[in-house]
Structure 1
Amino acid sequence: MHLSLLQPIIDRPGPWASVYAEIPHSTEDAAKQRELSADAAARQLAEQGADRATCDAVRATLANARADGEPADLSGRAVFATGGEVVLDAPLSGRPARSFASWSPLPRITPWAEAAADDVRCLVVYVDREGADFALHSDQGALDAGNVEGLDWPIHRTATADWSERHFQTAVENTWEQNAGEIAEAAQRVFESCGAQVMLLAGDPRERRSVHDKLPEPLRTVTYESDHGGRAAGADSTRLDRDITHVRAAFEHDHVTDVLNRFRAGADVGGTDPAYAASGVPALIEAAREHRIDTLILTPGSADAGREVWVGADPDQLAVRGTELQYLGETNPSAARADDALLRSAAATGAEAVVVRDPAEAPAGGLGAILRWSTPTQHQ
């Protein structure tokens, strides 16, 4: 999963209010329930030492939270606030695994990562021989991502065998090919700009196959085709929705499998060769300080996730012991959870995060990382 959503809270100093709450909106007393939930969260924060302004900001955000324009199953919120201001209000897919309010030196971002792990963003390209429409599908629903129009003449072939007609048919096929190329170029631009992770082509069978073949190789590896739905009004959308759900789930499963395989290969090098994977809090802390984490692996509820580490104001100021931070320029270190500290550091350096829900498949201790580079001393 990409961590760009967390950027507003990565470099900002705390302490932080982190609230995970269910936001009811489909019952008659939804407004009253939101107020009660908001009051409870603000009260919990105040009991933990949060300032009045921050408590009031959180209360107002939760009490006024509405799901207008959002899918009905988006019933949870992750709210992060500091200094009397809500800095990030992120909808969750479904209810939060656990509702709570926390006042801590770092924002409690790991539960957000756990909730967001399955929210694969799929760019659906509705293709015909004249162009394509784009829509980004995620747990937040479908968002219009634009369209592209190609040549509109000649488009249709004839059924005769006359030489002039055959020449015309060749021109038609050339138009199809040219339009397919323009659709492929536009699809690549939209895919890269909207943050999609997987792409699904729907619509005219010949044209979508041609579009698929014209995509650059890296994009083709995460592009699929559906026999359902299309660009025309009234096209079958129910079965296409099922295909979108299947593609999103399959991509997440395959991605986690690939990350774990790379992690194991990077750790199992043997001899004096450097390892390109790390596990255990001390090794991960060292890699995070040196900006070497490429992909952080998290396992909910694991032993190492809640281990106490020490952090400073900057994301790369983290240590196993507080005294170590004095050498990094931090004179007033704070205690924090290892998973939150490592996730903050990963987000700050553009790394990716992957949630592994099966402890049997996870790294020892539940935390691990694939590294951008290593040194001969990394292997243990």
Structure 2
Amino acid sequence: MELTPFAPLYERTSPWAAVYLDTSAGDAAAWEQTGAGGEGGAGFRARGIGRELARQGADEATCRAVVDAADSCPHTTQPAGRVIFASSGKVAFDLPLTMPPPGGWSATWSRLPHVAPLLELVPDEPDCLVAHVDRTGADFELRTAAGSGPAGGGPGGRWPPRHGSTGPGHWSQRHFHLNEGNTWEENARAVAEEIQDFVVDTGAGLVVLAGGEPERHAVHDHLPPPLRTVVVEAPYGDSGPYGDPPPYGDRAAGARTPRLDADVRAARQDYLRRRSIEELSRFESACSPARGHAGAAEGVPALVEAAREHRIERLLLAPDAEDAHRALWAGPEPHQLALRRGDAAHLGDAEPFAARADDVLLRAAAVGGAEGVWVGARAHGHPEGGLGALLRWTF
């Protein structure tokens, strides 16, 4: 996860409120059951968040700003959530979450913004190109973390919108009409070439082929080997939601079926698991005895030293990391961090403050242009204490 966009959070020296909310439709139903005195459940929970922040020492203006923001968060039909960062009576960030936070909500008041949950709740899901194929043509849809949209234009203006449906919510926004005079083998090759072009144009990291088994296999076989590694095949459903005449009726069957949606979600989750395993494998290799831990750091003392020297390239955080809750001492500058209060004074700040280890290290990583990586793929191979780093350079 790119941490640089959160660097402005560290420009303020005042404490921060960090609130993570579940805004899914299922959680909204639970809100209504917790309402009291005839008041809406959402407002009831928002005020509970305000009371929790006040209990932790937050000022009244910031509590009020957070309550107003939490009370106005929209509900969605998909599992999702929002994170709110507020300080000095103002909301600085109000962002959507890809995954809902556990427990419905959490609220933290601390000197540094509590950004660590973002690594799990906003994973770097790849943009996904869904190609609905049959023997008459191909429809393309680009699915991102923000939703579905047009997959982009192709060369020669071959992508007319269908039936005037040009809004960003329509999956079938771009179509590739095959030459009926060609053999299916020729058409499959043409679809594969268009998929390659779309991957280049959109930067999609994942391709889902939806359609009948012979058509999927034929297109897959014509893709270059490097691209096949990010291709997943998914059969489409039995009936289409649009009731369109040919040639779109058959392909439309793969549009908004729960089965296809589940296949896309599973493909994305598998992508994240594979990436997590790859990052852990890199970490294990860098920690090998032959290299003497030169390319990686694990354990809070080693991470503190690497953060001071701006050597962290990727900060790894594992689930239930024991060291994440450990208190470190920090100063106003990201490189001012230490294991003990006396050490922090030697780093140039007369008034160091205590903060969670994960928040202190993430501040140094964000300001230093490093990435944060959630490594929840497997229990073994995690860094010592749940925190580790791949380093930019070694001595």
Question: Structure 2 length normalisation: TM-score?
Answer: 0.74
Write the mapping of 1:64-143 to structure 2, written as runs, cut at 5 A. Answer: 64-67=72-75, 70-74=76-80, 76-92=81-97, 93-97=99-103, 99-117=105-123, 120-126=125-131, 133-138=140-145, 142-143=147-148
Unaligned runs of 5+ in 1: 159-168, 376-380
Partners of 1:206 and 1:15 in 2: CA distance: 56
Write the mapping of 1:34-45 to structure 2, written as runs, cut at 5 A. Answer: 34-45=42-53
Q: What is the aligned partner in structure 2 of residue 213 from structure 1?
A: 224
Write the mapping of 1:213-292 to structure 2, written as runs, cut at 5 A. Answer: 213=224, 217=226, 221-228=229-236, 232-235=251-254, 237-270=257-290, 275-292=294-311
Q: What is the aligned partner in structure 1 of residue 56 from structure 2?
A: 48
Q: What is the aligned partner in structure 1 of residue 351 from structure 2?
A: 332
Q: What is the aligned partner in structure 2 of residue 296 from structure 1?
A: 315
Over the matched positions of the two proteins, sequence identity in percent amounts to: 34
Verify: 1:148 aligned to 2:167, yes or no.
no
Q: What is the aligned partner in structure 1 of residue 331 from structure 2?
A: 312
Please tell me the residue identity of whatever aligns with 2:121: A
Write the mapping of 1:152-231 to structure 2, written as runs, cut at 5 A. Answer: 152=158, 155-158=178-181, 169=182, 173=186, 180-181=192-193, 183-191=195-203, 197-202=205-210, 205=216, 208-209=219-220, 212-213=223-224, 217=226, 221-228=229-236
Structure 1 residue 17 displacement after superposition? 0.7
Structure 1 residue 306 displacement after superposition? 0.9
Partners of 2:127 and 2:332 in 1: CA distance: 36
Structure 1 residue 224 displacement after superposition? 3.2
Taking a change above 3 Å as real, the CA distance of residues 32 and 353 of structure 1, as seen in their structure-2 partners, is same
Partners of 1:363 and 1:78 in 2: CA distance: 27
Partners of 1:11 and 1:132 in 2: CA distance: 46
Please tell me the residue identity of whatever aligns with 1:315: P
Greater Cα offset, 145-154 or 298-307: 145-154
SS at match of 1:109: coil
**Contact 1:131 / 1:150 at 8 angstroms: preserved in 2?**
no
Verify: 1:25 aligned to 2:28, yes or no.
yes
Taking a change above 3 Å as real, the CA distance of residues 80 and 208 of structure 1, as seen in their structure-2 partners, is farther
Deviation track 1:144-202 (CA, whole Å, cap 9, x = no partner) reads: 143333455994243xxxxxxxxxx59x94x97677545423323322xxxx6534344
Q: What is the aligned partner in structure 1 of residue 166 from structure 2?
A: none
Q: What is the aligned partner in structure 2 of residue 368 from structure 1?
A: 388
Partners of 2:150 and 2:333 in 1: CA distance: 36
| Count of aligned positions | 349
Partners of 2:177 and 2:72 in 1: CA distance: 54
SS at match of 2:95: strand
Deviation track 1:39-71 (CA, whole Å, cap 9, x = no partner) reads: 12212222332222211100101112221xx33
SS at match of 2:58: coil
Q: What RMSD over aligned residues (CA atoms) do the two structures have, in Å?
A: 3.5
Structure 1 residue 328 displacement after superposition? 4.8
**Contact 2:188 / 2:222 at 8 angstroms: preserved in 1?**
no
Structure 1 residue 372 displacement after superposition? 2.3
